[in-house]
């Protein structure tokens, strides 16, 4: 391993500041300002990684994000599974190993990089801080704009060379002056190591900044977006064009100019345009021996200049292949009339032309056109009015190119086109021979452009080969679209702080939650809510035992459930009764103050949308409840209709879900529990009938008690302001204990309601179910007045007799439990070879302690006519014969609700 660092030069590094790092277990050192790639090259590392499919040795091919070869895993200071070494800033203690183009994530996400998210509003964002970008940023700052300038590299000035002249000034001095002016501008901000991942509608740009200890994602809204992303040099395909020591010509020039690294000692330059000659001369000045310039063009001033320097220039020649193990040691070339030559060289510099970096421009529908002279796709000026593109990305300063895509040969299987996919010219032509014409299809056959670099070096080349193979013009088809992110970004960075059990999604708990936790409840998630699922009686009690105990307590004594998560909306105003009649299928306007009515809401399509009860609090005031998961959508629904269709109705809706806590006391001893709590409310059935509410004092607290039952048992739902909920709960537990009261969770609640055939919207319904399908025609009013969804109940589809209808199921084997979701088929189809017609599916299925058997609810085609027949649930454990029944299993006369 020899040092390839020159003794002097390298304006981008600070030689005095040594940076220690480790590559493949070897301790190496570089300088402040290096990239990992420049430091590896300086240390004479020829092979960085193996190619992903063929395992061929690969070295550094470029000096930026277009890199298709030199991929590494970085384990320190911050884990990154896969990065091009050309885009990694060298920092002290960096540890990296080569990776064959495929990253591996650790088993846990402890090492996933964190990120903060910031928001910024500017008049102008400039993407790319090369000469064009700096110019645009300075100009905008002078206009008084708030300006954000971002660049993915850790320096300003992009790929400009020290010898470049900018407005009559040497590039380094011009760049320093521009940077100083921006630093002094009060409203300008410059971010390096900051990649614009994508440009979105209305000037929204997402930037990933890596220069800070914790990465940042910037959400930028800009009135004007200027793309100054530069251009990437592209290779030419020839035999063994992937051999280490083969490199883009402009990259070698950048390594010499910026990092003081000569990437070889004796080079062949293979070029289609004068930038190759210019690069060769600049590198010769830096001390590189130029064995030959292989120029596919017919000669011109650039060739003449090189010859004048004594360089062997072969016009009309092309490189045919390389030799070396692993690094290039010889380059073969051929010229007109079949002449051939071999050059001793350890470096092969390729200058195939330039691809403007139009990915971000294209991603927000900026248009492209093919430019014949420069043999590339350029912005055509169409696109969002706030979007601009400048500099090399817009074609500015790009040389005229003699189009040349690959060197013809008998064997094209080592002419690599996409080095990161090990895809060759032969692969492209094979795809064409299968009649694939679109580059999008060729991409999917060859995988070209699907790798990390999204085809930066291979896309235009592939399109040209496809166009040529089909005899179409060179611009007939462009490369496939690259999509955001511009370069890869870890998901953890996009997630930012919104990770983990509490920040990914809000967690909602009731005011009684800490009692549930203290008493060992097992929780289930219902939307964002944590609800007690069941209360294990001890460490040994499992779900089934606990639920059976809780169910029997409610059926035989009493239970209390925290029903605070039910959605609650208070509606007030002179027209509230009219409004409720329009959104419920039954009449709410006839409800007396002090009474409660169950109601169904439908969507416009006639399908069940939500259910709950309405309490009339006053002539102009109702409190309605919704399902736990439906609270927000019902509020939206109410607001939408009030604002958009019936703004004439004077109704105001307020969500009070969290203001009220609800304790549901159910069971034959519920009245005794209330009495034991102490209340001034007359609890006798005659004075306080089913579906009535009363305000009063319970256990010394102001409460609203509602006789609503979701178990079929005598029930009192005690509503108190949230702050009183825990005190009331503890009072209920204490007062009920001598009566056998037990707390119960959602699982027991599900079993109890299913025994009574009460549906749960969203479990027994799925948005395709009408009230008639549920056997709930009784709740659909028959008069002439309209309600939302009414007209749809007469549509031909909703009156079909073979619609799925809610039924009960009793397995022939009383112990056999049917999985929810199980498909139902005819008895005659049991065991038949699929496919067999499906009759329906199971929506709810439980073991009932009171029935001492399993049972289920199901939606079955023409189900009500099948009551009394036997059908079959098809399960992975074999068929289960079930009897179809009415969807009610317990207390069919409804005698238990008054206790």
Partner 1 sequence: MLLIPCPWCGPRDEIEFRYGGQAHVAYPADPSALTDAEWADYLFMRDNPKGDWSERWMHAAGCRRWFNAVRSTVTHEIRGAYRIGEEPPP
**3-class SS at 871?**
strand
- The yes or no reply on residue 204 touching partner 1 (CB under 8 A) is yes
Total number of residues shown for the chain:
899
Contact indicator for 156, 114 with CB cutoff of 8 Å: no
**Piece of 194-202, 366-374, 421-429, 521-529 that binds partner 1 (CB under 8 A):** 194-202
Taking alpha carbons only, the member of 443, 378, 401, 451 closest to residue 234 is: 401
Among 326, 335, 384, 696, binds partner 1 (CB under 8 A): 384
Q: Which residue has the tokens 């040969």?
A: 409
CB of 786 to partner 1, least distance (A): 6
Query: Rounded to 5 degrees, what are φ and ψ at 545?
Result: -65, -45
DSSP string, 701-741: EEEEEE---SSSS-EEEEEEEGGGHHHHHHHHHHHHGGGTE
* Cα gap 654→567, rounded to integer Å: 11
Q: Which C-beta is closer to partner 1: that of 94 or that of 226?
A: 226
Among 790, 847, 861, 864, binds partner 1 (CB under 8 A): 790
* Cα gap 481→581, rounded to integer Å: 54
Q: Which C-beta is closer to partner 1: that of 636 or that of 695?
A: 636
**3-class SS at 483?**
coil
CB of 780 to partner 1, least distance (A): 14
**3-class SS at 143?**
coil
**Piece of 49-57, 453-461, 637-645, 769-777 that binds partner 1 (CB under 8 A):** 637-645
CB of 676 to partner 1, least distance (A): 44
Distance of CA 80 to the CA centre of its chain: 19
CB of 120 to partner 1, least distance (A): 13
**Piece of 57-65, 515-523, 635-643, 693-701 that binds partner 1 (CB under 8 A):** 635-643
Among 433, 644, 833, 895, binds partner 1 (CB under 8 A): 644
Among 164, 605, 883, 898, binds partner 1 (CB under 8 A): 605
413: left (phi over 0), alpha (psi -120 to 50) or beta: alpha
CB of 365 to partner 1, least distance (A): 7
Contact indicator for 898, 691 with CB cutoff of 8 Å: no
* Cα gap 519→508, rounded to integer Å: 19
Query: Rounded to 5 degrees, what are φ and ψ at 52?
Result: -70, -30
**Piece of 233-241, 639-647, 837-845, 879-887 that binds partner 1 (CB under 8 A):** 639-647
Contact indicator for 584, 600 with CB cutoff of 8 Å: yes
Angle at 279 between CA 278 and CA 280, to 5 degrees: 90
CB of 643 to partner 1, least distance (A): 5
Q: Which C-beta is closer to partner 1: that of 539 or that of 794?
A: 794
Among 795, 813, 819, 828, binds partner 1 (CB under 8 A): 795
Q: Which of residues 491-550 bind partner 1 (CB under 8 A)?
A: none
CB of 435 to partner 1, least distance (A): 31
- The yes or no reply on residue 338 touching partner 1 (CB under 8 A) is no
Q: Which C-beta is closer to partner 1: that of 606 or that of 757?
A: 606
Q: Which C-beta is closer to partner 1: that of 541 or that of 605?
A: 605
Among 304, 380, 639, 684, binds partner 1 (CB under 8 A): 639
Site map 75..114 versus partner 1, x via CB under 8 A: ----------------------------------------
Q: By CB neighbour count within 10 A (0-12 exposed, 13-18 middle, 19+ buried), where does 110 fall? A: exposed
- The yes or no reply on residue 201 touching partner 1 (CB under 8 A) is yes
- The yes or no reply on residue 365 touching partner 1 (CB under 8 A) is yes
- The yes or no reply on residue 647 touching partner 1 (CB under 8 A) is yes
**Piece of 27-35, 201-209, 337-345, 451-459 that binds partner 1 (CB under 8 A):** 201-209
- The yes or no reply on residue 380 touching partner 1 (CB under 8 A) is no
- The yes or no reply on residue 471 touching partner 1 (CB under 8 A) is no
CB of 502 to partner 1, least distance (A): 20
Q: Which C-beta is closer to partner 1: that of 500 or that of 794?
A: 794
- The yes or no reply on residue 200 touching partner 1 (CB under 8 A) is yes
**Piece of 167-175, 199-207, 397-405, 422-430 that binds partner 1 (CB under 8 A):** 199-207
- The yes or no reply on residue 33 touching partner 1 (CB under 8 A) is no
Structure tokens at 309: 């320097």
DSSP string, 827-870: GGGTTPPSP----EEEEEEEEETTTTEEEEEEEEETGGGGTT-E
CA distances from 661 to 273, 509, 720 (A): 77, 11, 5
Q: Which C-beta is closer to partner 1: that of 190 or that of 638?
A: 638
Q: Which C-beta is closer to partner 1: that of 430 or that of 605?
A: 605
Compute how many residues bind partner 1; rule: CB under 8 A: 26
CB of 852 to partner 1, least distance (A): 47
Q: Which of residues 749-788 bind partner 1 (CB under 8 A)?
A: 784, 786
If one counts every other C-beta atom within 10 angstroms of the C-beta of residue 418, the result is: 27
Among 434, 723, 791, 800, binds partner 1 (CB under 8 A): 791
Contact indicator for 509, 497 with CB cutoff of 8 Å: no
Please write down the HEC assignment for all residues of 211-233.
CCCCEEEEEEEEEEEEECCCEEE
Taking alpha carbons only, the member of 116, 92, 80, 75 closest to residue 34 is: 92
* Cα gap 248→439, rounded to integer Å: 24
* Cα gap 694→698, rounded to integer Å: 11
CA distances from 58 to 50, 248, 496, 499 (A): 6, 14, 35, 38
CB of 385 to partner 1, least distance (A): 8
Residues that bind partner 1 (CB under 8 A): 200-204, 221, 365, 384-385, 604-605, 636, 639-640, 643-645, 647, 784, 786, 790-792, 794-796
């Amino acid at each position: 391993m020899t040092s390839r660092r020159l003794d002097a030069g390298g304006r981008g590094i600070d030689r005095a500041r040594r940076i220690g790092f480790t590559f493949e277990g070897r301790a190496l050192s570089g300088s402040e300002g290096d990239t990992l790639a420049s430091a590896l090259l300086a240390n004479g590392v020829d092979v960085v990684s193996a190619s992903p499919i063929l395992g061929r040795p690969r070295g550094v091919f470029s000096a930026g994000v277009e890199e298709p070869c030199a991929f590494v895993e970085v384990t320190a200071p911050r884990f990154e599974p896969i990065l091009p070494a050309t885009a990694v800033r060298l920092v002290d203690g960096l540890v990296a190993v080569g990776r064959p183009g495929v990253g591996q994530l650790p088993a846990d996400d402890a090492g996933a990089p964190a990120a903060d998210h910031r928001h910024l509003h500017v008049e102008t964002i400039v993407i790319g801080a090369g000469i064009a970008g700096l110019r645009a940023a300075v100009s905008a700052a002078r206009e008084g704009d708030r300006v954000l300038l971002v660049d993915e590299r850790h320096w300003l000035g992009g790929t400009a060379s020290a010898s470049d002249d900018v407005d009559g000034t040497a590039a380094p001095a011009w760049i320093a002056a521009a940077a100083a002016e921006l630093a002094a501008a009060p409203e300008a901000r410059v971010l390096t190591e900051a990649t614009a991942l994508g440009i979105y509608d209305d000037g929204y740009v997402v930037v990933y900044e890596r220069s800070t200890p914790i990465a940042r994602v910037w959400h930028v809204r800009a009135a004007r977006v200027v793309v100054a992303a530069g251009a990437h040099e592209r290779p030419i395909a020839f035999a063994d064009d992937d051999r280490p020591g083969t490199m883009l010509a402009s990259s070698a020039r950048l390594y010499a100019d910026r990092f003081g690294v000569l990437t070889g000692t004796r080079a062949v330059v293979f070029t289609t345009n004068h930038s190759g000659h210019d690069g060769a001369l600049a590198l010769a000045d830096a001390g590189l021996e130029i064995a030959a310039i292989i120029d596919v063009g017919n000669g011109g001033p650039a060739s003449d200049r090189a010859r004048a320097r004594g360089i062997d220039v072969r016009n009309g020649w092309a490189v045919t292949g390389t030799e070396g193990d692993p690094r290039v040691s010889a380059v073969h070339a051929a010229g007109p009339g079949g002449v051939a030559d071999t050059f001793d060289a350890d470096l092969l510099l390729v200058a195939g032309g330039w691809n403007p970096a139009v990915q971000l421009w294209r991603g927000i529908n900026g248009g492209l056109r093919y430019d014949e002279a420069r043999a590339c796709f350029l912005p055509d000026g169409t696109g969002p009015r706030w979007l601009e593109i400048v500099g090399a990305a817009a074609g500015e300063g790009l040389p005229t190119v003699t189009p040349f895509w690959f060197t013809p040969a008998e064997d094209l299987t080592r002419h690599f086109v996409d080095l990161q996919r090990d895809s060759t010219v032969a692969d492209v032509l094979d795809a064409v021979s299968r009649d694939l014409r679109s580059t999008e299809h060729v991409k999917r056959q060859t995988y070209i452009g699907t790798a990390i670099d999204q085809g930066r070096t291979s896309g235009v080349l592939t399109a040209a080969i496809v166009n040529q193979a089909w005899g179409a013009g060179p611009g007939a088809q462009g490369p496939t679209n690259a999509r955001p992110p511009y370069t890869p970004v870890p998901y953890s960075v996009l997630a930012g702080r919104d990770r983990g059990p509490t920040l990914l999604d809000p967690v909602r708990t009731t005011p009684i939650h800490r009692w549930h936790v203290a008493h060992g409840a097992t929780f289930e998630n219902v939307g964002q809510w944590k609800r007690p699922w069941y209360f294990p009686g001890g460490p040994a009690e499992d779900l089934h035992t606990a639920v059976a105990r809780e169910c029997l307590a409610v059926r035989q004594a009493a239970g209390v459930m925290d029903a605070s998560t039910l959605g609650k909306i208070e509606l007030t105003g002179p027209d509230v009764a009219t409004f409720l009649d329009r959104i419920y299928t039954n009449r709410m306007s006839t409800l007396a103050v002090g009474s409660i009515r169950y109601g169904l809401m439908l969507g416009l399509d006639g399908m069940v949308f939500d259910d709950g009860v309405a309490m009339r609090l006053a002539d102009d005031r109702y409190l309605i409840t919704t399902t736990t998961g439906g609270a927000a959508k019902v509020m939206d629904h109410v607001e939408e209709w009030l604002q958009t269709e019936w703004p004439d109705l004077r109704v105001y809706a307020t969500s009070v879900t969290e203001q009220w806590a609800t304790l549901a006391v159910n069971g034959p001893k519920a009245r005794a529990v209330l009495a034991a709590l102490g209340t001034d409310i007359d609890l006798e059935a005659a004075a306080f009938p089913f579906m009535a509410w009363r305000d009063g004092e319970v256990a010394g607290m102001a409460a609203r008690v509602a006789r609503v039952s979701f178990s079929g048992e005598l029930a009192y739902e005690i509503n108190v302001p949230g702050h009183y909920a825990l005190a009331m709960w503890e009072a209920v537990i204490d007062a009920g204990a001598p009566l056998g009261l037990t707390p119960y969770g959602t699982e027991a609640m599900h079993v109890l309601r299913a025994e009574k055939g009460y549906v749960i919207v969203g479990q027994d319904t799925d948005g395709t179910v009408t009230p008639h399908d549920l056997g709930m025609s009784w709740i659909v009013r028959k008069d002439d007045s309209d309600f939302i969804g009414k007209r749809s109940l007469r549509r031909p589809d909703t009156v079909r007799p073979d619609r799925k209808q809610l039924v009960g199921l009793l397995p022939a084997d009383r112990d056999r439990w049917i999985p929810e979701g199980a498909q139902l088929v005819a008895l005659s189809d049991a065991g038949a070879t699929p496919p067999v017609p499906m009759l329906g599916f199971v929506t709810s299925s439980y073991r009932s302690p009171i029935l001492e058997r399993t049972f289920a609810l199901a939606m079955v085609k023409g189900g009500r006519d099948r009551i009394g027949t036997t059908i079959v649930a098809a399960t992975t454990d074999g068929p289960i014969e079930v009897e179809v029944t009415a969807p009610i299993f317990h207390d069919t006369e409804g005698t238990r609700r008054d206790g």
